[in-house]
Amino acid sequence: MRIVSGASTDTGQVREGNEDSYLVDRRLDLFAVADGMGGHRAGEIASATALDGLRLAVDEGTTVADAVGRANTAVWDKAAGDTELAGMGTTLTAAVFDDGTLTIAHVGDSRAYLLRGDRLERLTTDHSLVEELIRDGKLTEEQAAVHPQRSIITRALGVDSSVEVDVYSLVLQGGDRVILCSDGLTSMVRPAAIGTILREHPDPTAAANALVDAANAAGGEDNITVVVLDAHAEAKDPLPSSVAAAIRPRAPGTPAPPVEVVEPTAVGVVTTTTSMDAAAPEPQAPAPPRDTARYREPARARRGWRAVGRVLAFVVPILVIVGVGIAAIGWYARNSYFVGFEQGRVVVYQGRPGGVLLWDPTVVKRTTLQRARLQDDFRQSVSEQKEFGSKAAALAFVARARAQQTPTTTTTASTTTTTAPVAGVTTTSVTAAP
Ligand code: MN
């Protein structure tokens, strides 16, 4: 037996970008669909990162369930290393074919269906809010299809360091057709219509394209991705698709019998839940409301501490960077000296004229040198608050100014001198109350 596949993906009619990704690896007989979420391009990166991690792990001989765990780690690590990607996540529905058996590993609300003859059977259970409500008998399938919170998922890759993975094992028969699809298909096209379209297109690529077209025709409100897998009974099957042979021949004009739709938990599918986390199993609890996000995290006490750890992982490096920046600015602000006038006399300051951010200049030395007695060029330099690279250079300047000052000791001129306060220097003035 061998698999012949086709795939199609489309942005749809509403979304700006396509955050879905799919994987078709014929060498590994590995197929997958991932539906990413997150701001800007994060969703796109999440789904692509998950598929890269999955393929790498399967290629190294990891089971598909463990490979989904590795994909989770890849997305988690990438999100932790980039604040722009924080909070990103993705669904992942992966199938690996080996020796007649298709093993499906699944997290999220993308789906796998099996078309066998006239029956379309859903193989996967959605990890979504509405699916939980259906399971509890609070919603019907029809109500769920139009529920405003139908896109909220309760399990996703990349939102925690570990993830529970549903694993399904299916022994394929020749003529079986399996599809993997994102919710952009299933939210727009009812299962019966999906079954009908699959039967109408023997070629897997044509079938994938036709499903994407149907979702777009119905509104295309989300990204749409479909991977179609056809099981060929013989290794060298000459037919383009065994699905064509599986469809019963009928007289021209005779309508095809309706596709029987079977919801999951029905037939011959082994369902196990695998936890990638070696720690003790965590109790499941109802999810808290968070309407704006596609992912709704189950409420668990441990998550609080994980969140704290995650926040610290972001905050601590930022604090270090900010601290180094402040130190650098402080060093710049204080690693200079300048001269200025204060009450008609030359003063040497440490710092920058006017100060830098929080660092105001401080007085190093108040001299007895009077403004009125300075040579013109020295007076101008002091007025312009000439800067020096060291305290010694500043004091040397003062010494030269003193040596060249006007020899007279007459101080009458200084009484008319007005001085401007040095900008940024903190001066305290006390005003007596009248
Ligand atoms: Mn989607």
391-410 residue pLDDT tens: 999 999 999 998 888 775 54
Task: State in Å: Cα 19 to ligand 1 middle.
Answer: 8
| 75 CA to centre of ligand 1 in angstroms | 17
Gap from CA of 336 to ligand 1 centroid (Å):
59
202 CA → ligand 1 middle, Å: 26
Instruction: Kindly tell me if the per-residue pLDDT of 267 is higher than 80.
Output: no
Distance 59 CA to ligand 1 centre (A): 27
Of 146-150, 244-248, 348-352, the poorest mean pLDDT is in 244-248
Determine the distance separating the centroid of ligand 1 and the alpha carbon of 88, expressed in angstroms: 14
Ligand 1 centroid from CA 300, angstroms: 26
Separation of CA 90 and ligand 1 centre (Å): 9
Residue 253 is predicted with a pLDDT of 60
- Across the range 156-169, mean pLDDT stands at 93
Q: Is the pLDDT of residue 69 over 70?
A: yes
Give 274 Cα–ligand 1 centroid separation in angstroms. Answer: 24
- Summarised one tens digit per residue, pLDDT across range 111-140 is 999 999 999 999 999 999 999 899 889 988
State pLDDT tens for residues 173-217.
Answer: 999 999 999 999 999 999 999 999 999 999 999 999 999 999 999
Ligand 1: centre distance to CA 76 (Å):
19
User: How far is Cα 190 from Cα 276, in angstroms, rounded to an integer?
Assistant: 33
Distance 36 CA to ligand 1 centre (A): 7
- 86 within 8 A of 79, measured Cβ to Cβ: yes
How far away, in angstroms, is 114 Cα from ligand 1 center? Answer: 20
Distance between CA 56 and CA 329 in Å, rounded? 46
Q: How far apart are CA 197 and CA 178, in angstroms?
A: 13
φ, ψ of residue 69 to 5 degrees: the values are -60, -40
| 10 CA → ligand 1 middle, Å | 11
Buried/exposed code over 351-373 (b: 16+ C-beta within 10 A; e: otherwise): bbbebbeebbbeebeebebbbbb
Q: Lowest-confidence range among 68-72, 263-267, 369-373?
A: 263-267
Spatial CA neighbour of 97 closest among 31, 22, 51, 29: 29
- Cα(222) to ligand 1 centroid in Å equals 6
- Mean of pLDDT values over 344-365: 90
Mean pLDDT of 158-185: 95
**Residue corresponding to tokens 């029987």:** 260
Q: Cα of 37 to ligand 1 centre, how many Å?
A: 8
DSSP 137-189: TSS-HHHHHT-TTTT-BS--BTSSS--EEEEEEEE--TT-EEEEE-HHHHTTS
Q: How far is the CA of 21 from the centre of ligand 1 (A)?
A: 10
Amino acid at residue number 136 = D
Given a contact cutoff of 8 angstroms between Cβ atoms, the answer to whether 50 and 34 are in contact is: yes
Task: Say how many Å lie between the CA of residue 204 and the centre of ligand 1.
Answer: 22
Alpha-carbon 320 to chain mean position: 23
Average pLDDT, the chain: 83
| C-alpha to C-alpha distance for 175 and 204, rounded to whole angstroms | 12
Distance from C-alpha of 347 to C-alpha of 365, rounded to nearest angstrom = 6
In the reported structure, the alpha carbon of residue 364 is separated from the centroid of ligand 1 by a whole-number distance in angstroms of 67
Task: Determine the distance separating the centroid of ligand 1 and the alpha carbon of 25, expressed in angstroms.
Answer: 22
- CA of residue 35 to ligand 1 center, whole Å: 5
H or E element, residue 6: strand 2-10
Given the structure tokens 């939210």, which residue do they identify?
A: 187
Distance CA 187, CA 369 (A): 85
